[in-house]
């Protein structure tokens, strides 16, 4: 039997035709997955939680990122901190399972070393006079809070270009006062696909018209993309009207102080990959709901206007939509080459009351349905890419340009880390 040499990760990257999808092995191979975890989830800034996950002092949220586990903690001074979920004695997890708890101190379940919420080791027994507790504090993790978004970086040195995201997003989120929100609902789904397919799917709306009847209620006709080739005069005119409508809305918002302009940091040189824009919503123009009106009559922050569109932001493993009345924040954390945990939270004003200010079904139905539909699409595609007969096909330059950018960025980041 001839031995077929296994391609290296670099050879697989180099084998991608420009303008086409990635080879299937980049989605399915265990070694590729492990390198992806190391580079894209342990070295770059990642979005792991929202401030409403830890609303009160003593609240702790444990999150697994591959082999790493981190604790997001609200300390007694209401600061949000992040630590490695590792006891400084013999390495036990302080919180065994991912999830939330409310504690006075962090007590290791093994020999009860006890840590303050600021990470300092407060109590041990049987360690003797020579033992210096000061050098056994919990290991801190880089953390940044932007709006309601809690980002962490597990690398020793965090990428500095995160400052671009901070600078761009802080004023965009500010009118929505995202830290004065609470979680109205959260949903976790395990998608049967590689994380890169989850993100490719999120970055294009080529599929939206045929697959997302709920989400597209709030979309304008040409939000799915427009290919001018072979179009009638009337269709081209219609597209111009669409562009003019968007421009007018944005001008009005900008005049009132709401930032709208497209901001993107996606090219091969950046470490922190993200994009943001205030998008126009169809119909009543208010929210991503079935009737395009607000789901919560208690608007975010001190907003008075309902028709503020959708401040969207996506990064290399997350997507966010912020409307006047609520926000939807989703993160995709890989758990295996073919398994990705997608967590979605719905944020409303912290004083909004279910049944009075909002109806939960109305608030959540669009993105619950959309997430389930996307999971199905991603699982189906992952399966196809693992078929020995799979040959990557071309992206549409009119609707899938950001997939090509993502593929190039993915390649460049790996190259920068020696792959
Ligand atoms: S491992 Fe934590 S107290 Fe021993
Ligand atoms: Fe989708």
List of domains in the chain: 52-146 (2.102.10.10), 161-416 (3.90.380.10)
Does the structure show a pLDDT above 90 at 31? yes
User: β-strands 327-336, 339-349: how paired?
Assistant: antiparallel
State the pLDDT at residue 230: 83
| CB 299, CB 324: distance < 8 Å | yes
Exposed, middle or buried, 77 (CB in 10 Å: 0-12/13-18/19+)? exposed
**Ligand with an atom nearest the CA of residue 125:** 1
Q: Is the per-residue pLDDT at 327 higher than 80?
A: yes
- Nearest-CA residue for ligand 1 atom 3 is 111
Percent of the chain at pLDDT above 70? 100
- Let me know: does 258 contact 265? Beta carbons within 8 Å: no
pLDDT category at 413 given cuts 50, 70, 90 is very high
- Displacement of CA 353 from its chain's centroid (Å): 26
pLDDT in tens, 137-189: 999 999 999 999 999 999 999 999 999 999 999 999 999 999 999 999 999 99
Q: Which of 18-22, 76-80, 211-215, 226-230 has the lowest mean pLDDT?
A: 226-230
Residue 65 has a pLDDT of 98
pLDDT at 25: 98
Say what the pLDDT of residue 243 is.
86
> Has residue 298 got a pLDDT over 80?
yes
> In whole angstroms, how far apart are CA 192 and each of 330, 336, 339?
17, 9, 5
Count other Cβ atoms within 10 Å, centred on residue 28: 18
Judged by its nearest atom, the ligand closest to the C-alpha of residue 366 is: 2
Q: Which of 262, 278, 345 lies closest to 311, judged by CA? A: 278
**Rounded distance from Cα 59 to ligand 2 centre (Å):** 33
Query: Has residue 4 got a pLDDT over 80?
Result: no
Percentage of the chain modeled with pLDDT above 90 = 91
Q: Which of 83, 88, 90, 125 to mutate to test the pocket of ligand 1 (most atoms within 8 A of CB)?
A: 90
- Going by alpha carbons, the residue nearest to atom 1 of ligand 1 is 90
The closest residue, in CA terms, to atom 4 on ligand 1 is 111
Residues, beta carbon < 5 Å, ion ligand 2: 374
pLDDT band at 359 (very low <50, low <70, confident <90, very high): very high
Contact 348, 357 (CB under 8 A): yes
Q: E strands, 205-359, where?
A: 263-265, 274-279, 310-314, 318-322, 327-336, 339-349
201 alpha carbon – ligand 2 mean position (Å): 6
Q: What is the pTM of this model?
A: 0.96
Residues with CB under 6 A from ligand 1: 87, 89-92, 108, 110-111, 113
For 248-287, the pLDDT digits (tens) are 999 999 999 999 989 999 999 999 999 999 999 999 999 9
Q: Tell which one of 87, 93, 122, 131 to mutate to probe ligand 1, the residue whose CB is within 8 A of the most ligand atoms.
A: 87
Choose among 45, 41, 43, 32: nearest CA to 64: 41
Per-residue pLDDT band for 345 (boundaries 50, 70, 90) equals: very high
């Amino acid at each position: 039997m001839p031995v077929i040499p296994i391609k290296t990760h670099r050879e697989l990257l180099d084998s991608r035709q420009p303008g086409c999808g990635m080879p299937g092995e980049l989605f399915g191979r265990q070694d590729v997955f492990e390198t992806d975890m190391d580079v894209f989830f342990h070295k770059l800034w990642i979005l792991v939680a929202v401030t409403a996950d830890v609303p009160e002092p003593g609240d702790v949220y444990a999150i697994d990122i591959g082999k790493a586990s981190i604790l997001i903690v609200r300390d007694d001074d209401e600061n949000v901190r992040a630590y490695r979920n590792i006891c400084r004695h013999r390495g036990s997890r302080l919180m065994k399972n991912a999830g939330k708890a409310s504690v006075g101190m962090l007590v290791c379940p093994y020999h009860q070393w006890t840590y303050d919420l600021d990470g300092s080791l407060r109590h041990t027994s049987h360690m003797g006079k020579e033992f210096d507790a000061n050098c056994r504090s919990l290991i801190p993790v880089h953390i940044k809070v932007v709006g309601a978004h809690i980002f962490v970086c597990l690398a020793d040195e965090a990428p500095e270009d995160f400052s671009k995201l901070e600078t761009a997003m802080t004023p965009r989120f500010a009118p929505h006062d995202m830290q004065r929100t609470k979680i109205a609902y959260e949903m976790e789904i395990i998608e049967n696909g590689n994380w890169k397919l989850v993100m490719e799917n999120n970055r294009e709306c080529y599929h939206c018209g045929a697959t997302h009847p709920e989400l597209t209620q709030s979309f304008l006709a040409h939000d799915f993309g427009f290919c001018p080739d072979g179009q009638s005069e009337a269709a081209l005119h219609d597209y111009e009207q669409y562009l003019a409508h968007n421009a007018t809305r944005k001008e009005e918002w900008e005049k009132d102080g709401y930032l709208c302009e497209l901001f993107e940091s996606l090219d091969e040189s950046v470490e922190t990959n993200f994009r943001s824009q205030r998008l126009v919503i169809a119909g009543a123009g208010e929210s991503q709901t079935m009737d395009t009106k607000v789901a919560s009559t208690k608007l975010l922050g001190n907003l008075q206007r309902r028709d503020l569109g959708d401040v969207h932001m996506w990064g290399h493993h997350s997507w966010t939509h912020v409307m006047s009345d609520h926000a939807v924040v989703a993160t995709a954390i890989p758990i295996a080459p073919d398994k990705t945990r997608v967590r979605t939270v719905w944020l409303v004003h912290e004083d909004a009351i279910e049944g009075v200010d909002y109806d939960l079904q109305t608030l959540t139905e669009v993105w619950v349905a959309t997430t389930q539909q996307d999971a199905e699409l991603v699982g189906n595609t992952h399966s196809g890419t693992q078929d020995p007969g799979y040959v990557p096909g071309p992206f549409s330059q009119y609707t899938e340009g950001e997939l090509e950018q993502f593929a190039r960025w993915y390649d460049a980041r790996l190259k920068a880390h020696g792959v």
